[in-house]
Structure formats: C-alpha cells, structure tokens
Amino acid sequence: MTILEIHNLYKKIKGRELLKNITLVIDKPGIYGIVGRNGSGKSLLFKTIAGLFVPSSGTVSVFGDIIGKGNFPKSFGALLDTPGFLTHYSGFQNLKILASIQNKINDKDIENVLTLVGLDFNDKGPVRKYSLGMRQRLGIAQAIMEKPKLLLLDEPMNGLDESGVSEMREMILNFKKKGITILLASHNSEDISLLCDEVYKMDAGELARHTINTASTTQLI
C-alpha cells in the first residue's frame, strides 16, 4: 500500500494561490526532506497532509485513505509549528490528556516516550516553566507516542542545543530503522544531507525534486 499519495494538490486562501498542483508519491519507508524559504508553502503542505486544511482541489491520501474534511490520517504523528500545550500542567499530564483521545497507550508508554526524548517523566513542574528546547522535546514526544507509521516533522531542531540536535538526529534515524516514514522540513542543510534519502524543494507553492550542495552552504532557503 502506498504510504502517501498527493495528486494535483491546489490550495487557495483569500485569493492567494499557496499550493500549486503538487504531486508526490511515497511508496517506501524513508526520510524525505522538504526545503524552501519561509512562506514557500512547506508548513501549509504538512498541515494539509495532516487534514488540518482541506484542498481547494486535488487529493491527499495516507495509507490509501483520502484525507479531507473530518477525515484525519491513521497511524500518523506530527510536530507542526511551535508545540502548543496546557502550560499549567506538567509534560506528563499534557501527554496523558492527549493520549485519552484514542486510548492507544498507557501511563508506562508515556513515561517511556518522555525518557526517549530526554525529559524526566517525574518532573511535576508546569510546561510554562519549560525552556524552548524542552517544549520542542515534548512536542516530539506527543508526535511519536502512539507509534505512528508516518511522521511529519516541521523544523524539529528548533530550540535545541548542539547535543540536543545530535540526539534528535540519532532518534530520527532510529525511527527510520523501525520502518517509520518521515517528512522532514528543515532550513539546515546538514540536517537534510545527514538524514534524508530524497529531498524536495518548495518554491512559491510548487514542489520539485532537489539536490543540495552541502559544501557551499549550511542554511537552506
């Protein structure tokens, strides 16, 4: 079964053409990089795949199911934008609330995923006191806690220090080894060159295959 299939995806908002006839087929697990300038359409593409936006025309299907109004992907996780949490609750409490929606995992699973991303599940402190890097780790935890087969990561290294970036890269590669398909948006060419099997570039709402020259730049725009 095809993992992700996008055909002639077009999205227009308030008269602006933001996604223009995008076609993409992913039929084998791996890490697929999406690069492009801010405002090029990367985040909107991810949100459309996640079912948060309905295409103006064209189709998006995940594991054979058409994604649209009221129909969200199955076996799917995502880190989109800056993670939003109930800031007066702890990280564990936030994940437990989210987990209660589908009841796929238990408290032990939540403890394990917090440990995996480098957070202390016994920490009772509220999320409002978390650093940006800690919030990013918690965002990764919520994206992977239900063991998705497709994972969308929009700038997952934001807010992480050098050691945190190294840990995150290793974690992403481990996800790949487990057969998880990952779409990764990043401005950093090192992330893309070290992690990705294929790379695509968004430019003014259009998507095309892309090759980067890692010797000449460390930032992708």
3-state secondary structure of 105: coil
pLDDT computed for residue 212 by the predictor? 61
Token pair of 25 as six digits: 């087929």
Domains in the chain: boundaries: 1-75+164-221, 82-147
**What pTM does this model have?**
0.90
Strand boundaries in the chain, DSSP class E: 4-13, 16-26, 31-35, 57-62, 65-66, 76-79, 150-154, 181-185, 198-203, 206-209
CA of residue 109 relative to chain centroid, distance: 20
pLDDT block averages, 10 residues each, the chain of length 221: 95 95 96 94 95 94 90 91 88 96 95 95 96 92 96 92 92 94 93 95 93 50 44
3-state secondary structure of 2: coil
Domain spanning 1-75+164-221: which CATH class is it, in words?
alpha beta
3-state secondary structure of 17: strand
Contact 184, 26 (CB under 8 A): no
- Consecutive H or E run containing 6: strand 4-13
3-state secondary structure of 150: strand
What whole-number distance in Å separates Cα of residue 143 and Cα of residue 125? 21
pLDDT computed for residue 215 by the predictor? 43
What whole-number distance in Å separates Cα of residue 209 and Cα of residue 72? 27
Contact 76, 142 (CB under 8 A): no
